Amino acid sequence: MNTSSLDRTLDRANSDVVLIVDDVPDNLAVLHDALDESGYTVLVATDGASALKRALQALPDIVLLDAMMPGMDGFEVAKRLKSTPQTAHIPIIFMTGLTETEHLVAALDAGGVDYVTKPIKPKEVLARMHVHMQGARQARQARNALDAFGYASITVRASDGRLMWQTPLARDLLLAYYGTSAPQAPQPVVDWLRRHLKDAEAQIEPPRLSAELGPRRLTLRLNRQTGDDDWLIVMQEVSEAAVVESISLAFKLTAKEAEVLYWVIKGKINRDIGDILGSSPATVKKHLERVYAKLGVETRTAAAGMAMSRIRQLHPNFEG
């Protein structure tokens, strides 16, 4: 594997990346040439340990995996790839000379999405890859788009709480709010998921889960089922500072007036707001009177309602 090929794996705009795992050099050569001619970036590994290392480093778009290898066989490699959040989403196509039903079932049970039988026919492999990579590519694009717009996503297996995959943003948020990282999802998230499984299975959206970290809040929404026992959860972080700034800009309020209005939305009385902001209730009242004038309203309820409506347009996950 040369350096230029390895560099190209980092740029998915150039080509899709395939990892071939086989301990027989002739098999590797045949597939490598066919895939390279078809425009794929090809990585190779000749044993299970190097396959796991290469997959974690390069995060290929698909893995072509020999089922029977000395030492760690393909079934074990697949299980480890699927139990690692960073690689769990990668489709695996088994290559096997074993056609007995129990071996094919074992391949699928280990996490394979498909299999091809040996001797390998490159055209058949390319056709199978195309089918599975379309779905994988769309899923990857969707996850990247979520991260780009500030929405992090994870997939959690309900039965054992295992984190099947996570976006980079999701990893950072889970570590910040819950102090945990893969392979297990945070226990509060698992408990929340299990509590609302029946609603989710009936396509009734359950209440969202929230976690707070100082002035920041993380909101988790159960999105959909992605497998027999796997659930996609979408998260977004909302900062009080960002919401206050939005209020200030939307209604042309001073920073202090925006802070007062924010805490009115949260249901706080003037005395409580004064304690939070380090001001007297009388000062809070004066700020609030100026807020009423700028919004063109006369009551606390009307001001809160108008502000809440605007905030939900700008911060859909905000909860007053």
Q: In this structure, which CATH number among 3.40.50.2300, 1.10.287.3510, 3.20.20.60, 3.30.390.50 belongs to the domain 3-144?
A: 3.40.50.2300
In angstroms, the CA 21 to CA 1 distance is 13
- Please tell me the predicted confidence (pLDDT) of residue 209: 93
240-251 vs 281-295: helix axis angle to the nearest 10? Answer: 50
- Please tell me the predicted confidence (pLDDT) of residue 2: 42
The structure's pTM equals: 0.50
Q: Residues 195-225: pLDDT tens digits?
A: 998 888 888 888 999 898 866 788 899 988 8
Give the 3-state secondary structure of the chain: CCHHHHHHCCCCCCCCEEEEECCCHHHHHHHHHHHHHCCCEEEEECCHHHHHHHHHHHCCCEEEEECCCCCCCHHHHHHHHHHCCCCCCCCEEEEECCCCHHHHHHHHHCCCCEEEECCCCHHHHHHHHHHHHHHHHHHHHHHHHHHHCCEEEEEEECCCCEEEEECHHHHHHHHHHHCCCCCECCHHHHHHHHHCHHHHHCCCCCCCEEEEECCEEEEEEEEEECCCCEEEEEEEEEEHHHHHHHHHHHHCCCHHHHHHHHHHHCCCCHHHHHHHHCCCHHHHHHHHHHHHHHHCCCCHHHHHHHHHHHHHHHCCCCCC
- Please tell me the predicted confidence (pLDDT) of residue 14: 52
Question: Which residues of the chain have a pLDDT value below 70?
Answer: 1-15, 99-101, 138-150, 214-215, 316-320
What are 292's two structure tokens? 């009423």
CATH architecture, range 252-314:
Orthogonal Bundle (1.10)
The CATH number assigned to the domain with range 150-239 reads 3.30.450.20
| Domain ranges (residues) in the chain | 3-144, 150-239, 252-314
- Asked if 234 contacts 223 with a C-beta cutoff of 8 angstroms, the reply is yes
